[in-house]
Amino acid sequence: MFWPTKMCKARLFGLKSNLRKTVDSLEKYGGVEIKEISAKETSNAGQLEDYDNTVEKLLKVEALISNMTKSDTGKKIFVAELKQTLSQAKLKQIEEKIETVQGKMDEASNKMEILKEDYTKISMFSKFNMDFSELASGSVEVIAGIAPTEKKKYFETYLKKSALSYTERTTHNGKTVYLAMFEKGKDYSGIFREGFDRLNIPNIKDKPTAQMQKIEKEIKALEKDKETNAKELEKISKENYPALIALSEHLKIESEKGSTPEKFVGTGHSFMLEAYLPEKNFSAFEKHVKADFGKKIYLKKISSETLEKSHEETPTLLEHSIIVKPFEFMTKFVSIPKSNELDTTLIFLVFFPIFYGMIVGDFVYGIISFLIAKFILSKVDKDNLLNPVAQIWMWSAIPTIIFGLIFDEFAGLSNEHLFEIIGIHGFYLYHGLERLHYIELLLPVTIIMGIVTMAIGFLLGFMNAMRHGNTKHAIAKLGWFGIVAFGTIVVSTMMFQVFPEEFLLPAGILMVISIIPVIIVEGMIGLIEIPSVLGNILSFARILAVGLVGVVIAMILNDLAFPSLDKGLLVILLLPLYVGGHVFNAFLAMFEALIQGARLNFVEFYSKFHEGGGKEFAPFKFERKFSRE
């Protein structure tokens, strides 16, 4: 609960003839993480014999899937059934069908591209109502081009003088296209002096408009062919996609299993592997191995104590109840603890909701927080990032409601104001600690929270260091605890006379004594860090500061947009504005409380004891979505 699950290491020795069976057995058990062994003296055990064939088949199946349209996968398909229905011959048949249909579709697409290009070229001459096939002659040369509009006079003068004949048309986009006929061999270079942009005359065998109509018909016919082939491909996909996607999944698993022995070490006839697993599960694993292999495999256990003494880092497994599980997400998101240090999940569960509740601190906003979180949970999948965040919001709504009662805040209104709204004046249930009116009281409370949190952080750091057998660092953490505890007494007595003056001297002496181990272990850097610890404590004032922002916004909404009956028809406009404003303010408070509450935990608090950098336990097992064994 407070520490990650203790992990041990299993060491297995076996014959290479049992290599495939061993990998299958480990996957079947699904509760060990295989360690990659690197030994200079020996080589790895190599891949399984059928690894290359599996990868080759996988690539072929993936290629087939990439050419298919996605369809409903339906229920999971048994692997044995897949091997029968999707034999090598069947795969070849599917491949040929897809290649034929896809080839026709590609051919149609290519033809359509060429036709569209021709259509664009011919459209430049669509205004010329003449049969272009009659222009072909051995004694004349026909040229076409676009001329700048402002130079129209020059071109007309030139063409009248040099060309046998010419004509011009204005296209749909406002450009002037000239078509001119010159004697064969005549020099007409003068036309290019003023920006004449020559056009290649396409192979037009009729009037341009007539040929464009023919192209349109051809494109429509090709589109119809393409559509027919697309339906054929869809039919092939519908028949084979579910089985192929299931086979792809199975082959991916098999290829990964095939490469797994590369993590083992081996000789000509034997192999050795190492795997981590929860120590409490070793007996069950031992029974599983004996049931599968009997005496053909030798199994040795290396206990968690032995691993810790040899400073071997094991993967981290966090195990929590359903209630605590959502908060585990934040631990993993920020930094997974090492397997031999405190699991921060429960600490986060205790401290974060308090910080969150104090920041939002409104009874109605607590209910809104719960409802928004519930709505998000109903809309997102379990794998979605918002799912654990919404669960954290939902659980944190409970302390928010409690603090809302303490602060006497109901959407920015006190209980006395609520009674006034329903016509009962001068009556109230209680006077709460309204944040806007009790700043002088609540500010010291948040600072005291910072002091207590920092002190607990250093005590947890002491526990961590002692567990690791690091006595020096453990004493330094106790020193820091003393600096915070006795330093608080000294400062609060000198500045605010919180404690009697008699406390000042002994507390000061104890604070100086506490500084000594910090300097011995951490050097002058430790001394320099004392102001940063003070800064961490003062950071807790943000609980009040951020909370007050939400209070002020709520009060502004109540003053300007409250839909009271005396406002007449404006109530129709004010009611949605008022409700929407408070929902938005509540969501804003939820978001800020999440960010600031998490910051106080991870930056100010965890830095005093949490090292992190652990690797999450990843057991050797595979999730099958489309196939089953």
Query: Which pLDDT band holds residue 190 (cuts at 50, 70, 90)?
Result: confident
Q: Which residues contact 38 (CB under 8 A, 6 or more apart)?
A: none
Question: Region 193-200: what's the mean pLDDT?
Answer: 82
Q: Which long-range contacts (CB under 8 A, 24 or more apart) does 325-333 make?
A: 326/388, 326/391, 326/392, 326/395, 327/352, 327/392, 327/395, 328/388, 329/388, 329/389, 329/392, 330/388, 330/392, 330/598, 332/616
Task: Please say if the pLDDT value at position 220 is more than 90.
Answer: yes
Task: Please say if the pLDDT value at position 413 is more than 80.
Answer: yes
Chain Cα centroid distance, residue 603: 22
More confident of the two residues 128 and 583: 583
Q: Which residues contact 172 (CB under 8 A, 6 or more apart)?
A: none
Cα separation, 596 vs 352, whole angstroms? 10
Average pLDDT, the chain: 89
Cα separation, 590 vs 395, whole angstroms? 12
**What topology does CATH give the domain 126-201?**
Alpha-Beta Plaits (3.30.70)
Task: Please say if the pLDDT value at position 518 is more than 70.
Answer: yes
List the Cα angle 161/162/163 in 5-degree steps.
110
- Residue with the two structure tokens 């996607």: 245
Task: Please say if the pLDDT value at position 524 is more than 80.
Answer: yes
CATH 3.30.70.240 in the chain: give the residue spans: 1-46+264-315
Q: Which residues contact 611 (CB under 8 A, 6 or more apart)?
A: 337, 338, 341, 464
Query: Which pLDDT band holds residue 69 (cuts at 50, 70, 90)?
Result: confident
The CATH classification of domain 1-46+264-315, taken from the options 3.30.300.130, 1.20.1090.10, 3.30.70.240, 1.10.10.10: 3.30.70.240
Task: Please say if the pLDDT value at position 149 is more than 80.
Answer: no
Render pLDDT for 42-65 as a digit per residue (tens, 0 to 9): 778 888 888 998 898 889 889 888
Render pLDDT for 527-541 as a digit per residue (tens, 0 to 9): 889 999 999 999 999
CATH 3.30.70.100 in the chain: give the residue spans: 126-201
Task: Please say if the pLDDT value at position 23 is more than 90.
Answer: yes
Instruction: Tell me which H or E stretch contains 555.
Output: helix 542-561
Render pLDDT for 120-145 as a digit per residue (tens, 0 to 9): 888 888 888 888 877 767 778 888 88
Q: What is the token pair recorded at 36?
A: 């990659």
Cα separation, 33 vs 278, whole angstroms? 10
The answer to whether 539 and 450 have CB atoms below 8 angstroms apart is: yes
Render pLDDT for 249-278 as a digit per residue (tens, 0 to 9): 999 999 999 999 999 998 888 999 999 999
Question: Region 559-578: what's the mean pLDDT?
Answer: 83
pTM for this one? 0.75
Task: Please say if the pLDDT value at position 478 is more than 80.
Answer: yes
More confident of the two residues 191 and 245: 245
Task: Please say if the pLDDT value at position 517 is more than 80.
Answer: yes
Query: Which pLDDT band holds residue 173 (cuts at 50, 70, 90)?
Result: low
Cα separation, 485 vs 492, whole angstroms? 11
Cα separation, 545 vs 538, whole angstroms? 12
The answer to whether 144 and 103 have CB atoms below 8 angstroms apart is: no
Question: Region 175-199: what's the mean pLDDT?
Answer: 83
Task: Please say if the pLDDT value at position 549 is more than 90.
Answer: yes
Task: Please say if the pLDDT value at position 41 is more than 70.
Answer: no
Type of residue numbered 435: R
Cα separation, 463 vs 456, whole angstroms? 11
Q: Which residues contact 352 (CB under 8 A, 6 or more apart)?
A: 327, 330, 392, 396, 597, 598, 601
H runs (alpha helix) in 407-541: 415-421, 439-467, 471-496, 504-522, 524-528, 530-538
Chain Cα centroid distance, residue 380: 14
Task: Please say if the pLDDT value at position 301 is more than 90.
Answer: yes
Q: What is the token pair recorded at 595?
A: 């960010």
DSSP tag of 616: B
Task: Please say if the pLDDT value at position 86 is more than 80.
Answer: no
